[in-house]
Amino acid sequence: MNSYKESHDLLDICKLAPVIPVLVVDDTASAVPLAKALIGGGLRVLEITLRTKNALDVIKEMVANTTEGIIGAGTLLSEEDVYAAKNAGASFGVSPGITDQILRACAEVKLPLLPGAATPSEVMNLLARGYSVQKFFPAESNGGIAALKSILGPIPGVSFCPTGGVTSTNALDYLSLKNVPCVGGSWVAPQNKIKNADWQAITELARQAYSLNEHFNT
Ligand code: 3PG
């Protein structure tokens, strides 16, 4: 798969829901109820960060037990992470930045990648390699909405999923930008609610996040 194709796949994925939950999960028993809670609220695209010991098992559980979920692996830092994510059944990968190794490994195993960029040079470098859908990370500490507006002028051909500091308070402002089809964030699945198995509360947060769509479909 070339990167142009991957980028288009990513755009389709990004358009499925306005928010991609960024999940840090270690307890495999939480995997399926958490995924179902989020999907029940309308958020079908989930990013499971490879930041916990059991993250790959969490991905496997979600992939095996949810039919509507599009399960991705986040925090890809190396080729090994890419191979492990693919083997676990991830449908896409997310990386906070890029390396040649990660891009090569994703192309090799045909894992669509949402690659991270934070500066115009990084955005241009990725665009030159065919990645027209990128993760703007860390969004808030890199200028947030103002930075994305400034990038839109000279580099209009890139769509961004801003992540890092995006919350229920500022998500709508991000989504109102022409170059932002979706945002990513952890606020829809807070650690304490996962720990307390408060799936109803997580579904409600997901529902509220999904309803951000209403502002664009009227
Ligand atoms: C991350 O990779 O941690 C994401 O950017 C999530 O950031 P957030 O916790 O600020 O939503």
Lowest model confidence (mean pLDDT) among 3-12, 106-115, 178-187, 201-210: 3-12
CA of 151 to the centre of ligand 1 (A): 21
C-alpha–C-alpha distance, residues 40 and 29, integer Å? 18
CA of 138 to the centre of ligand 1 (A): 8
Which among 97, 94, 158 is positioned nearest to 130, based on CA atoms?
A: 158
Can you tell me the mean pLDDT for 68-89?
97
- The pLDDT of residue 216: 76
Can you tell me the mean pLDDT for 30-59?
98
Confidence label for 2 from pLDDT (cuts 50, 70 and 90): low
Residue extents of the structural domains in the chain: 3-213
The class (CATH top level) of 3-213 is: alpha beta
Tokens of 26: 């270690």
Instruction: Please report, as a single letter, which amino acid is at residue 9.
Output: D
- The pLDDT of residue 38: 98
Which among 141, 103, 153 is positioned nearest to 125, based on CA atoms?
A: 103
Q: Answer yes or no: pTM beyond 0.85.
A: yes
- The pLDDT of residue 139: 98
Annotated active-site residue 79? The verdict is: no
Which among 179, 176, 173 is positioned nearest to 158, based on CA atoms?
A: 179
Exposed/middle/buried for 195, CB within 10 Å: 0-12, 13-18, 19+?
Answer: exposed
Can you tell me the mean pLDDT for 98-108?
96
The 3-state DSSP class for residue 175 equals helix
Q: What is the pLDDT of residues 123-182, one digit of tens each?
A: 999 999 999 999 999 999 999 999 999 999 999 999 999 999 999 999 999 999 999 999
Ligand 1, CB cutoff 6 Å, lining residues: 22, 137, 163-166, 185-187
Which residue puts its alpha carbon closest to atom 4 of ligand 1? 164
Which residue puts its alpha carbon closest to atom 9 of ligand 1? 186
